[in-house]
Structure 1
């Protein structure tokens, strides 16, 4: 049973309006539609509000990135995370522990509340003519497309958490796909149907945002983490919004998860080709990988040049520090970090320099404020990576291996990331399927370290969770239980 309220936030991101411009609500806690959507600013505020809530610690600002999902991926030392009651139980997959059940319930409610807000926004914008918006069709389509894309993205992640992976062959009905507002009850649907509907939303969204991202703003991607020169901040920062490439990349991720390898390859190839064509504008493509090993404050802790989509939280480093520091000592220390690098012959991998090895602390620096003074370095501190270009290369590598494209092409995509990250150990084109899969898994573990995607990688492959020499066979533990008040009896 889905129970949620319409909690549309009036929070402005990136200085669109005053930070305290919250929406007045009626006594029944329902937002006043007439007030909210009386002009175009309400639509912008509504969309920003969804991103704002999704970037908070209960969602992608912690639990769905460096927190809960990374604990499930055996990223942290078990004795260390035991200082947190929920994580102490989660690291041994005790989902019946009260603190874990509460955490899971908050994720469920947070995701479906965001979906409710998307549904309300979609319903409102479908009734508006393009002339309602200052930039006409371009603006209407952009807001409409982002709301659809977020709805698809969230349902995909809900399926990846609360339903068995397609590779298991279990196509039971675990979660509902909610597309209307208001609603108080929605039946769960088979995972194949959830993924089909998410794909449908993403495809519609792709065509809607393309007008802005590929026609009007040819520099949208170059300025994806900064304001453009137009003075209109709502159309800036495309890297922290559901932009065209983020949507195409999510389609590739979804298709790979669904076992639709040819389609996954097609969408990933589209992203790859566009990035290749815009290299001079993007200035990405692992160009700053060597700066990962810079000492002191001038370090690219998020390797943000490779990020296609990220959430954004201005208080992220403060939240991380509050959560991971106790009496001046760090918590959430990494487990078996060295096994991903030197022990596998990749001692030259730049990604190891994103780990603070001093005094045996083994702490990820991705989420720390190292004190950089340059704006192009400081901007990364607030970013919560959600989709990287490296994942696109991994998808291309995985779907090319054993296909008509040939293993040489598969290895080339994998080597493209590895070479950009400083790895000099070459992978043979004649490597076996098992060994190639192993290389992909360890690459993912290094690339996604503390970002939440490692758990999803193991689940998609129905593969034991690896950590050093440890191997955790999860089986049913890959599937999070529904909150108690959502179960239908």
Structure 2
């Protein structure tokens, strides 16, 4: 039975950032956990620290969004043939020392976030009397949901295939910050812990999250706005870049989809929670989220922020996009300019379908630098000069519509959801799914939509793993990708195995 030791974290010198001000925490030498958690502000600062850890380049600030995980799904090619580490990563050669170090760092940093929120959760009930208004429910609910979110991504990356998870222990679900050994759990028990945290978070946030009542626009005032804020405490604002109530529902939909192969009832639950998000409305009856469309792209909002359910704020995203995606960047597709050009992308985005597709128009271009002209760049994270959207989406409304399409019980119902999605995205969908084999046609279309929709967002690899894709459908890509269990199950750090190798 495999186990892991999670060491105690001392909250050290961290600069905690809110949307409108910086909050400073005393160095570890003078500030202990007990001192930090004497006030409501201390709990808020600790939660902000967890969000800051999520911006790590090893997790949602890079590796699990546009970096390593996109190489594993072969969404990027290795621009420089001399880069042996990236070549090994793209080949899922987990025995390579550099590749192992990268994946181990992701594992470690995910558990750092978990330790942050566990520091909050192990104290918050005993300090409930210090909280005002809805702060107790908001902070505890967010902390529980973040614990579920990070554990679930550890499971998706390092855990077994969801269609055949087995009964052996796989990973630890850590609920306390201590030096005690945490025993690894089997897949199903681990997943039930994820759902239990989300159930509790949902109950806490349902009637307390300002995002349930107020619109995204009300909670995200534009710079220099003279309108009176709808909430007196600015901690209640900018909820779509936090683990809000709707994000909890969306994450539950994603989790149930992952569990769907082992229990058909999970598909119904996935659809239920996805529909709750899709149907959400503010106090005036206006939908809380809407699907991204051409107008957003034309305005330079390439990540379609109106459909962001949860995101992380990144102040230097504009420069990161320039450094990583443009001429000098390493994140590119090899796409030999033969026949009508864009060989890979012509299959991913068929010529007849992409005329108005918001994931295609203005989003791809060849590099012009000598020696790199066969490489194609993606513009998803490039920013407009005015009102840049400096946030990385972690949950989006598009996924909810794909889940609803995939979980629909009939061809007509599936077509209704997919047609709504296609209409906003600029995808022609006039004839419906193939009548003779509509479920197979739906499956192939859903896999392709996940790749097209979430390119450079870290979801392609998980989509392939969930479907256990061995080769991609010949109808939309070349035979360049080979999926195997060995590729999909990333080994856990050797340190854990060496400690408990029985």
Q: TM-score by structure 2 length?
A: 0.86
Tell me, yes or no, if structure 1 residue 174 matches structure 2 residue 170: yes
Q: Note the alpha carbon deviations across 1:301-339, whole angstroms, 9 max, x for none.
A: 1111111111122123333444556xx633211242332
Q: Note the alpha carbon deviations across 1:391-447, whole angstroms, 9 max, x for none.
A: 1111111111xx2xx211111111211110111232425352111111111111110
Tell me, yes or no, if structure 1 residue 315 matches structure 2 residue 316: yes
C-alpha change, 1:85 and 1:125, in structure 2 (3 Å) is farther
C-alpha change, 1:11 and 1:334, in structure 2 (3 Å) is same
* Kept in 2: contact 1:56–1:313 (CA 8 A): no
For residue 352 of structure 1, what is the aligned residue in structure 2?
A: 360
Counting matched residue pairs gives 463
Superposition map of 1:165-244 within 5 A:
165-213=161-209, 218-223=213-218, 225-226=220-221, 228-244=229-245
C-alpha change, 1:320 and 1:465, in structure 2 (3 Å) is farther
Tell me how far 1:99 sits from its aligned partner. Answer: 1.0
C-alpha change, 1:88 and 1:197, in structure 2 (3 Å) is same
Equivalent-residue separation in structure 2 for 1:116 and 1:416 (angstroms)? 41
Tell me the secondary structure at the aligned position of residue 318 of structure 2: helix
C-alpha change, 1:4 and 1:89, in structure 2 (3 Å) is farther
C-alpha change, 1:281 and 1:463, in structure 2 (3 Å) is closer
Equivalent-residue separation in structure 2 for 1:169 and 1:17 (angstroms)? 45
For residue 330 of structure 2, what is the aligned residue in structure 1?
A: 331
For residue 249 of structure 1, what is the aligned residue in structure 2?
A: 250
For residue 90 of structure 1, what is the aligned residue in structure 2?
A: 89
Tell me the secondary structure at the aligned position of residue 395 of structure 2: strand
Equivalent-residue separation in structure 1 for 2:83 and 2:156 (angstroms)? 24
* Kept in 2: contact 1:149–1:205 (CA 8 A): yes
Tell me the secondary structure at the aligned position of residue 308 of structure 1: strand
Superposition map of 1:148-167 within 5 A:
148-167=144-163
For residue 340 of structure 1, what is the aligned residue in structure 2?
A: 348
For residue 291 of structure 1, what is the aligned residue in structure 2?
A: 295
For residue 429 of structure 2, what is the aligned residue in structure 1?
A: 425
5+ unaligned residues in a row in structure 2: which ranges?
223-228, 261-265, 335-343
Equivalent-residue separation in structure 1 for 2:171 and 2:113 (angstroms)? 15
For residue 25 of structure 1, what is the aligned residue in structure 2?
A: 28
5+ unaligned residues in a row in structure 1: which ranges?
none
Match of 2:478 among 469, 474, 485: 469
Tell me how far 1:340 sits from its aligned partner. Answer: 1.7
C-alpha change, 1:415 and 1:229, in structure 2 (3 Å) is same
For residue 481 of structure 1, what is the aligned residue in structure 2?
A: 491
- Please, which moves more after superposition, 195-204 or 311-320? 311-320
Tell me how far 1:477 sits from its aligned partner. Answer: 1.3
For residue 416 of structure 1, what is the aligned residue in structure 2?
A: 420
* Kept in 2: contact 1:177–1:197 (CA 8 A): yes
* Kept in 2: contact 1:223–1:237 (CA 8 A): no
C-alpha change, 1:85 and 1:221, in structure 2 (3 Å) is farther
Superposition map of 1:8-157 within 5 A:
8=11, 10-15=14-19, 17-18=21-22, 21-26=24-29, 32-78=32-78, 80=79, 84-129=83-128, 131-135=129-133, 138-157=134-153
Q: Higher helix fraction: Structure 1 or Structure 2?
A: 1
Q: Note the alpha carbon deviations across 1:181-206, whole angstroms, 9 max, x for none.
A: 21442121111111100000001001
Equivalent-residue separation in structure 2 for 1:278 and 1:153 (angstroms)? 30
Equivalent-residue separation in structure 2 for 1:299 and 1:211 (angstroms)? 35
For residue 280 of structure 2, what is the aligned residue in structure 1?
A: 274
For residue 446 of structure 1, what is the aligned residue in structure 2?
A: 452
Tell me the secondary structure at the aligned position of residue 280 of structure 2: helix
Q: Note the alpha carbon deviations across 1:75-129, whole angstroms, 9 max, x for none.
A: 1123x16565542211011111111111111111101111111111011111112
C-alpha change, 1:225 and 1:105, in structure 2 (3 Å) is farther
Q: TM-score by structure 1 length?
A: 0.88
* Kept in 2: contact 1:7–1:117 (CA 8 A): no
Tell me the secondary structure at the aligned position of residue 207 of structure 2: helix
